[in-house]
Amino acid sequence: MQDGPGAAREDWAEAGLRLEVDGATATVTLCRPERRNSQTPALWRALAAVGRELPGSVRAVVLRSEGPSFSAGLDRAAFSPEGIPGERSLTDLARGDDAVADAVIAGYQEAFTWWRRPDVITVAAVQGHAVGAGFQLALACDLRVCAEDARFAMRETSLGLVPDLAGTKPLVELVGPARALEICATGRWVAAEEAERIGLANLVVPAKELDGATGDLVAALLAAPRNALIETKSLLADAPSRAYDDQRAAERAAQLRRLRDLANLGD
């Protein structure tokens, strides 16, 4: 196995993140199990850097975590008057200029936005709690494989906040606006069985089979030719925003590119 560009970076390790690259597959691991993989701006900066530094050979990215919980959400220290040491506090953010606050939150969101880019397929392997920012990080991925003990909750609204880490759009796309509102407004737990039934989880397996099932799914994804997978992912991602006839036209254009590529007639 070949270490990824950030595997030995001290700042990534301190933030609770590890990256490993093995051929066409990258594995991103949250590794602060003693804090239930709670999240900080330092972790978000590291996650954003992973997206920028992935080798071009990577076709699939697995997001996993150590310990009993996938991620318990934002580090509770962020809600204290002092905030997280070395980071801008939520109070300072609220008191600041609108443009500055917007830029800060946009920077946080970068950790959650690159997972759906068309050149890679991303899979979250979720066990235990996935709360708030943890829920949104799982939602950032294309697919989710869940252990039977996985439980999701969006607690931001209960705290007087809103989900702001790019999770609202994929949640609505997966479960619909009414179900998404109910989940966010109540902050209730969504267990693995329900998650699979309503479309949050692609697959639910016993906890001891989580890594194996995730690996099997990644292997199946990598069996398809890369360019065909890229084109298909783009078609499906853009379909909700396109009119029916526009989507048909996009299918035709994509297929013609594929036919020319297969016939060695590309540019």
Output the tens digit of pLDDT for each of the chain's 267 residues. Answer: 445 444 447 789 999 999 999 999 999 999 999 999 999 999 999 999 999 999 999 999 999 999 999 999 999 888 887 888 889 888 888 888 999 999 999 999 999 999 999 999 999 999 999 999 999 999 999 999 999 999 999 999 999 999 999 999 999 999 999 999 999 999 999 999 999 999 999 999 999 999 999 999 999 999 999 999 999 999 999 999 999 999 999 999 999 999 999 998 654
- Decide if 156 is catalytic: yes
Structure tokens at 102: 């917007």
Give the C-alpha separation, 133 to 168, whole Å: 11
The CA-based dihedral angle spanning residues 113, 179, 69, 206, taken in that order and rounded to the nearest 10 degrees = -110
> Which residue in 70, 62, 6, 61 sits closest to 33, CA to CA?
70
The reply to whether the predicted model has a pTM over 0.75 is yes
Paired tokens of 38: 């709670």
Residue type, 88: R
Q: Give the contacts of 216 (CB within 8 A, at least 6 positions apart).
A: none
Please say whether the beta carbons of 149 and 117 come within 8 A.
no
pLDDT recorded at residue 2:
46
Q: Report which DSSP code applies to 114.
A: G
Alpha helices, DSSP H, located in 96-209: 98-113, 133-140, 168-175, 177-186, 192-198
* Cα–Cα distance, 235 to 221 (Å, whole number): 16
The amino acid that residue 201 corresponds to is A
* Alpha-helical segments (H) within 71-143: 90-95, 98-113, 133-140
Q: Which of 20, 156, 182, 209 is catalytic?
A: 156
Residue 38 burial by CB count (10 A; 0-12/13-18/19+): exposed, middle or buried? buried
Please, which residues bridge with residue 65 across strands?
30
**Rounded distance, CA 199 to CA 266, Å?**
38
Q: Using alpha carbons only, what angle is made at residue 175 by residues 169 and 178, rounded to the nearest 5 degrees?
A: 90
151 in Cβ contact with 183 (< 8 Å): no
pLDDT recorded at residue 265: 62
The pLDDT value given to residue 126: 98
pLDDT of residue 86: 86
- 167 phi and psi, to 5 degrees? -95, -15
Please give the sequence-ordered ranges of beta strands (E in DSSP) within the chain, or none if there are none.
2-3, 17-22, 25-30, 60-65, 121-126, 129-131, 143-147, 151-153, 190-191, 203-205
**The two three-digit tokens of residue 110, written as one number:** 């970068």
